[in-house]
Amino acid sequence: DGGITQSPKYLFRKEGQNVTLSCEQNLNHDAMYWYRQDPGQGLRLIYYSQIVNDFQKGDIAEGYSVSREKKESFPLTVTSAQKNPTAFYLCASTVGGGSQPQHFGDGTRLSIL
Amino acid sequence: AQKVTQAQTEISVVEKEDVTLDCVYETRDTTYYLFWYKQPPSGELVFLIRRNSFDEQNEISGRYSWNFQKSTSSFNFTITASQVVDSAVYFCALSEARGGANNLFFGTGTRLTVIP
């Protein structure tokens, strides 16, 4: 089945550690997105990528980094510079253009040890 | 600037009651798109509907209906004869047509609890 796979489902980070969240899609979508969800705050855009080897900062990019070496993959690294990383992270993809709905993965819940 | 407001943080209804979730948006663009997503306890967001700014026709899909009114910048969502499976967080979102990117601006969500 086509879809978006995020892994792991749960992740724990130690102080000063970088961690990477995986996002893979087999929908042949050009655009991919990373969102952060905190209780009561809805979803906020971290980074997005419209094509391979290109990505743009969203509203809350500080402390995060991404890469887009393959169309299918858009991993997110939460660096040690992100002082409050505890949140639910959602990856999404779409064919592109403002009219198309985004398809979401199941999310990764990141916590601090 | 773009903004989506979902003033209802939490709503509880008894099964079989009707419930309306409110969504008010702000945008300076004349071309834009509105979406509703459902987030069940499992966490993934499920797409429910898309409406473009030129189409004010209301839509009904089974027990779900949507009322889009540009005059009040609202895109409200009604569930008729609610069921326990409707319990979830519902998000309204706005996308503007410029730039080729499909960046969504989300409201803060409304948590719906349907009591059996």
Copy the structure tokens of residue A44: 């906020």
- What is residue B98's predicted lDDT score, i.e. its pLDDT? 63
Residue A34 to residues A31, A75, A89, B71, Cα–Cα distance (Å) = 11, 9, 7, 33
Give chain B's mean pLDDT.
92
Q: Do B108 and A42 touch (CB under 8 A)?
A: yes
Distance of CA A14 to the CA centre of its chain: 20
Q: Is B20 left (phi over 0), alpha (psi -120 to 50) or beta?
A: beta
Mean pLDDT of B93-113: 83
DSSP B28-90: S-SSEEEEEEEE-TT---EEEEEEETT----EEETTEEEEEEGGGTEEEEEESS--GGG-EEE
- What is residue A97's predicted lDDT score, i.e. its pLDDT? 66
- What is residue A88's predicted lDDT score, i.e. its pLDDT? 96
- What is residue A4's predicted lDDT score, i.e. its pLDDT? 95
Can you point out the beta strands (E) in A1-113? 4-7, 10-13, 19-25, 31-37, 43-51, 54-57, 64-66, 76-78, 87-94, 103-104, 108-112
- Who among B37, B46, B102 is closest to A31 (CB)? B102
- What is residue A16's predicted lDDT score, i.e. its pLDDT? 85
Q: Do A98 and B109 touch (CB under 8 A)?
A: no
- Who among A42, A48, A101 is closest to B103 (CB)? A48
First to last CA, chain A: 35
DSSP B87-113: -EEEEEEEEE-TTS---EEE---EEEE
- What is residue A1's predicted lDDT score, i.e. its pLDDT? 62
Mutation target vs A (from B90, B102, B106, B108; most A CBs, 10 A cutoff): B102
What does residue B22 show for φ and ψ, rounded to 5 degrees? -95, 145
> Coil, helix or strand for A72?
coil
> Scanning every residue of chain A, which has its alpha carbon at the shortest distance from the alpha carbon of B92?
A42
A38 in contact with B, Cβ within 8 Å: no
pLDDT digits (tens, 9 = 90+) for B26-64: 999 888 999 999 999 989 999 999 998 988 888 888 999
Contacts of B36 in chain A (CB under 8 A): none
pLDDT digits (tens, 9 = 90+) for B80-97: 999 999 999 999 999 886
- The one-digit pLDDT tens for each residue of chain A (113 residues) are 679 999 999 999 888 899 999 999 999 999 999 999 998 788 999 999 999 999 999 989 999 999 999 999 999 999 988 889 999 999 999 987 667 889 999 999 999 88
